[in-house]
Amino acid sequence: MSQSQEALAAGNVTKARDLAARARIVATGGRSAFSEGENENFMRQVDEALVKIDERGRQIEAQTREQADRERAEKARMAEQNRATERERKINEGIDRIRALQAERKYDDALKVVDDVLFLDPNNPTALLLKDILRDIVIYSTFNQIQAEKAFGHAKLTLDAENATIPISGVIEFPDNWPEKTATRGEQSAYVDAPENRRILAQLQNTKMPVEFNGNRFADVVEFVRTITNVPLDVDWESLQTVGVDQDTQVNLKLSALPLNVLLDRIMGKVSQDPYQKAAWAVDQGILTIASDQALRQHRSLVIYQIDDLLLDIPNFREVPQIDLQSVLGQGQGGTGRSPFTGQGAQGTGADPRPTREERTQQIIDIIQDNVDRDGWRDRGGETGELQRLDSSLIITNTPKNHREIVGLLSKLREIRNMQINVETKFLLVNQNWFEQIGFDLDIVFNANNNQVRTARATDQFAQSGDFFDFSSDANGGRRGIAAICIGGGQGGALLIETVT
């Protein structure tokens, strides 16, 4: 019991309770050595000690709870104080950042920082004021920028208009950006590779590398291609196994410097055992893919090709037309105008028989299917390409590789049709005094040492320069022109011009 009291005085309630319980056990075990009164006194002491221990335990527990509550409250107060301090620090940093951005005229970025500050403190007076000011500045700066761009646009249009007033001095003048316009004009076909595909295809075509494979594993060859090209490469080994190609398939190939796209074709041919079930490669979505040809054919796209220009009928005249100028000159007396070209060539009877539009369309379809993946078209027993016709459009579903070949084929056909010379000639029949009627001053010097007009006026004061070109007859059947005026023609080096009508 003494040890229990000492433990209780030290605040160890648990130990004090254990010792009191042990005292009860000791007293109970020694009941035979004491009287009944002494045993009851022992039990009473133990019970009183346990009551004190329980009371002291409750006191200690209450004190512990109070201490814990005080500590939690202090921690909460300190945490709130830290949060308030951190929020104040962030607000001050945000205000400083706003002013820095305002000095740099980055008003949009400053408004974003203002919103961040107001999120921390919705009632911050500085942020609210800066928000109103910055919004007004953004409006005014945007308005001023629009005005400046408008003034610049007006000035540019004025310059373009003034530049257009420059007269043309040559026969044909092309604009300065004519090559750029020609390059950006584009093809009439609708299929265009994605930029990443064009980049990889150009890299494969422009990179040349000599190779020598002597029984190398196909997986090692693929890794060599990946290292050289440095492009994303994906190998579908599962589809390759269906055509008898695996990682250990040997490659034997020795070539000089060739483009990598040609090298890939050769490698696929070396590892393929069956020409109808072979390995192949393709570029799609920026990835160089190596798989079986059948697997690559599953990636198809639909493209609409316009072929109006290829369906235009251009006659091919086999006979040179005859030109009858005499009949045209005879129309000056009031006849009706007609073409000076006569003969079969002018009427078209000598032209080659031309196919109909339907026949020309079918001819282009046959050319495409005969030259691009001949055995892959479904209407010819294949499983890849589909072709439908709608007026002057071809709706084709095929692989990207075949679409590129179709575009190249149609471009070649258009180049052939562009090799054409078109000459247009116009004959203008005018009167002999037409230049004088339109006010065109024409002076002709027949001899550098003599003035023929002055000599003619010495004989006839009413002579005009146009009389030198007047080949008509007067009322007496004589000539009015130079033959009558230039009397003694030939003196002083003057020329006598005889006309033949």
CATH of the domain at 275: 3.55.50.30
Average pLDDT over residues 185-197: 67
Question: In this structure, is residue 312 part of a structural domain?
Answer: yes
At 496 the pLDDT is: 41
365 and 271: one domain? Answer: no
Contact 278, 291 (CB under 8 A): no
| pLDDT(119) > 80 | yes
306 and 291: one domain? Answer: no
Contact 475, 488 (CB under 8 A): no
> Looking at 43-57, 175-189, 357-371, which range is the least confident one?
175-189
- pLDDT band for position 485 (cuts 50, 70, 90): very low
- pLDDT band for position 190 (cuts 50, 70, 90): low
Average pLDDT over residues 34-49: 86
At 498 the pLDDT is: 39
Domain range for 484 is: 434-493
At 346 the pLDDT is: 44
| pLDDT(316) > 70 | no
Question: In this structure, is residue 292 part of a structural domain?
Answer: yes
| pLDDT(489) > 50 | no
214 and 285: one domain? Answer: yes
Question: In this structure, is residue 33 part of a structural domain?
Answer: yes
- Structural domain tally of the chain? 4
Average pLDDT over residues 442-447: 53
The residues, any chain, with a CB within 8 Å of residue 322's CB and separated by 6 or more, are 341, 342, 343, 345, 346
Counting Cα atoms < 13 Å in the Cβ hemisphere of 120 gives: 22
Among the candidates 392, 418, 444, a domain finishes at 418
At 327 the pLDDT is: 64
Question: In this structure, is residue 145 part of a structural domain?
Answer: no
The residues, any chain, with a CB within 8 Å of residue 378's CB and separated by 6 or more, are 384, 385, 386
> Looking at 65-69, 297-301, 359-363, which range is the least confident one?
297-301
- Better-predicted residue by pLDDT, 241 or 495: 241
- pLDDT band for position 149 (cuts 50, 70, 90): very high
Question: In this structure, is residue 183 part of a structural domain?
Answer: no
| pLDDT(336) > 60 | no
270 and 307: one domain? Answer: no
- pLDDT band for position 488 (cuts 50, 70, 90): very low
312 and 372: one domain? Answer: yes
| pLDDT(315) > 70 | no
Question: In this structure, is residue 211 part of a structural domain?
Answer: yes
Contact 268, 279 (CB under 8 A): yes
- pLDDT band for position 210 (cuts 50, 70, 90): confident
At 155 the pLDDT is: 93
306 and 397: one domain? Answer: yes
